[in-house]
Each structure stands twice: as structure tokens, then as C-alpha cells.
A and B are shown apart, each in its own frame.
Chain A
Amino acid sequence: VSFLDLHVSGQSIWIPYLVLLGLVVGYIAGLFGIGGGFLLTPTLITIFGIPAPVAVGSALSEKCGTSVASFLKYRELRFGEPKIDLIMLGGSLIGVDAGTRLLSYLVSLGTVHTGAGDLPVVRLVLDLTFLILLSLMAIYTFVEVSKSFLSETVRGDVTIPGPLAKLRIPPYVDLPHIGLKSVSVPMLAYLGFFLGVASGLMGIGGGVLLMPVLLYGLGLSARHAAGTGLLLLLATVAMGAFEQGLRGYVDLRLSMCLLIGSSIGSQLGVITTTKVRNRNLRLAFGSLVAATVIIIAVDAWPFRSLI
């Protein structure tokens, strides 16, 4: 039915498919307690054939809605340390600007010609970046799961200062709410910068990168790690969506269709978490990320001669 078709950059997409994609990504986000943006951008590019910059911009716009809901939820629960958000925010706002400029630059490079056809440079770079990021994430998750299967001893939900918390680059800040002392301010600001670049370039919220850093880098307890960074993510995606909107990379209809689906999906995902063991959840998460890696790799295979 034509009135249910959405035309995005020359592609005609049936709106219920977009809502369904939003529902699936939202369900995964609710189930695993992360944003799900790392799945959304590659899916929009690879399966729906949406141009990479529009997929990135629209995913960031969609994340504005999901991250405001997460922020409100965790603010009520009072988990996390807002000082970390505020320090990292300075770096991440510069980072998201840098990431957006990098995306624009890649778009300006045009296409590369190969025997298999023409491929936009931005698509090539994003495919490669997602392949590396998601492969590392899948390996990391499987290692963590295998550890939990091998050992019955659990860490406990406490903060144990990690390697990043012991880094000695002055000035320092005390974070009494989460039990950390003398944490390096420049280290946090640089972490925020890299998170912002990833957000602006790839259209991800950044939670998927931030969680391992908070848990294993700084050593935060699981509850505090989940509650930290939500204000940061909200501000980063809002800045990113605005900048990319200015450049014409955001299709608001597309992002709202995705958001409608993901709002329902995330609630269903949250309900499911209460019925499944975390270890099994992480195993499912690792398998899902590995499947995404395979889909991107299969899609990029005809262009392997470029690498």
C-alpha cells in the first residue's frame, strides 16, 4: 500500500517494516540493558539499503527518545555518579562534533570503483569500523560468559578500583557516591571524547562502549555502571542529532517510525529480563553480535579487494 511507504533517499520502505525493526532493536535494548544503536545503524545500511550518513543521523535522532526515557528511569533509582557524566560531557561534545565532521568528510570523498560495482567511501569505512567494534564486543562477551561458566565464585555488586581508576594524570576528582578516590579528570575527558567521536561517526549512543570501560576500566559495581553515563549519552546523541540534522543527514520520519517500535519493544525486553538468568542473556547477546558481524561481512564480501 503506497501510503504506508516511506521514501528515504530514493529507497522506498514499507513503514511497518521500520516499526518492526524498531521493535526488535528496542526489545534487544530492553533485554540487555543497553541502547541497541550498534545494531540499528548496520541494519539500516545493510538490510534496508539506506545511505550510511542518513542511517547514522536518523539513528542518533531515534536515540534521543530512548536515552531520555533511560535517563529518567535511572535518575529515579539514584544509581551512578553524575560527576563522571559531567566531566566526560566536555570531551564528548567536542568528540561528537569531530565525529560528525569526519562523517561529512567521508561523504565528500565520494565512491570507489571496483569490479563488484561502486561503493561509497563512507560505507566502506563504517562497515569496517562496525566489523572491528562488533567482533571485539563478541569476543569480549564470549570470554566473560566462559569465565562465568568455569567459575562459580561471583564478584559481588561492589566497586573495586580498576586500572583506569589508578591512572595518575592530575588533576583528580573524588567520587564518594560510588566509592572511588582520586580519579584522573583528563582521563575521563578523553574517554568522553572518544565516545563522542564514535557516536557522531557511527550513530551509536555509546553505551555499548561505555559499559566495559565503567565496569572493568574504572571498576564500578554493575548497578552504578548501569546508572552512570545516561546524562552523558543523552547530551551526546542530542548534540549529534542536531549537528547531523543541520547537515541534512536526519530523516525525522524514519527516526520516529523506529522510535514508535522501540518504545514498545524495550518494555517487552525489560519484562523478559526478569525471567532469564544473566549468564544466558549474555550468551544470547554475544551470539546476536556475532550474527551481526556475519551479516556485515557477507554484505561487504564482494568489496574485499579494497581492504
Chain B
Amino acid sequence: VNRALYALACVVFPVLWGLGVAWVSKRIGRAEHKPTIASDDIA
């Protein structure tokens, strides 16, 4: 059970951190991102 909980934590904590980062960057305004290494055609 402990190992399963730890494995779950290995997913949940990073996901929560990612959600937090997404929320903060939305609040403070983020530079427009262009899909890179893909094409020269996107300005």
C-alpha cells in the first residue's frame, strides 16, 4: 500500500505543481508561444 501511495505521489505532486505554474503564468500574462523547430512559416 505504501509503495502504491508513493507511486501515486510521484504523479500527483508534479501534476499539482504543473497546474500551479499554469495558473500563475496565466495570471501574470505569458509571452505568446509559437510552435518551434517545426516550421519557418509561423511568424
B40 x A273 contact (CB < 8 A): no
Would you give 18 A-B contacts (Cβ < 8 Å), ordered by A?
A: A63-B14, A64-B10, A64-B11, A64-B18, A73-B22, A73-B33, A79-B35, A156-B41, A225-B35, A243-B7, A244-B10, A245-B11, A250-B6, A255-B14, A263-B21, A267-B31, A271-B31, A282-B37
Contact A65 B21 (CB under 8 A): yes
Chain B residues with CB under 8 A of A68? 14-15, 18-19, 22
- B18 near A274 with CB under 8 A, answer no
Of all A-B residue pairs in the complex, the 3 with the closest CB atoms, nearest first, are A245-B7, A226-B35, A65-B14
Where the two chains meet, the residues of B that have a C-beta atom closer than 8 Å to any C-beta of A are 3-4, 6-11, 13-15, 17-19, 21-22, 25, 30-42
Task: Identify which of A26-34, A41-49, A166-174, A187-195 touches chain B.
Answer: A26-34
* Interchain CB contact (< 8 A) of A256 among B4, B13, B25, B35: B13
Instruction: Closest A residue to B19 by CB, please name it.
Output: A68
Which residue of B7, B34, B40 is within 8 Å of A148 (Cβ)? B40
**What CA separation (Å) do A4 and B4 show in the bound complex?**
28
Residue of B7, B22, B42 touching A72 (CB-CB under 8 A) = B22
Are the C-beta atoms of A279 and B40 separated by less than 8 Å? yes
* A157→B30 contact, CB < 8 A: no
B-contact bits for A53-80, CB 8 A (1 contact / 0 none) = 0000100011111111100110000010
What distance in Å separates the Cβ of A181 from its nearest Cβ neighbour in chain B?
23
Say yes or no for A101: interface residue by CB 8 A criterion: no
- CB within 8 Å of B: which of A215-264? 215, 221-223, 225-227, 238, 241-246, 248, 250, 252, 255-256, 259-260, 263
Minimum C-beta distance from B26 to chain A (A): 8
Chain B residue numbers with a CB within 8 Å of A223 are: 35, 42
